[in-house]
Amino acid sequence: MLSKQSIRGEIQILANGEPIGKEEIIALSETWNENQEIFFRKMLKQGGSFKIKDIHFSIKVQEQLRDSRGDISAPLKS
């Protein structure tokens, strides 16, 4: 089963085209087998569109800003 910590804040998740909350995803994950849960966790990291148990999910991950060396840049301090 998924936990609230496994679903980060900067991820947008749609189920059948509608936004879905953490609690609803956790409730759905209770009926998934281990392979489906592992696949969902992988998609949370990379994003994409897929289907689990007749529910079409679309995950959009906000990309982190990188500097000229390819390193993830820290937020700017004012």
Domain range enclosing 22 = 4-61
pLDDT in tens, 25-62: 999 999 999 999 999 999 999 999 999 999 999 999 88
DSSP per-residue string spanning 22-69: HHHHHHHHTTS-HHHHHHHHHHHHH-EEEEETTEEEEEEEPPPPB-TT
Residue 78 resides in a domain: no
Residue 72 resides in a domain: no
Phi-psi region of 27 (alpha: psi -120 to 50; beta: other; left: phi over 0): alpha
Domains in the chain: how many in total? 1
Residue 75 resides in a domain: no
Residue 37 resides in a domain: yes
Residue 74 resides in a domain: no
Laid out side by side, the sheet with 11-15 consists of 18-19, 11-15, 55-61, 48-52
Residue 77 resides in a domain: no
Q: What is the pTM of this model?
A: 0.77
Token output for 72: 């993830």
Residue 38 resides in a domain: yes
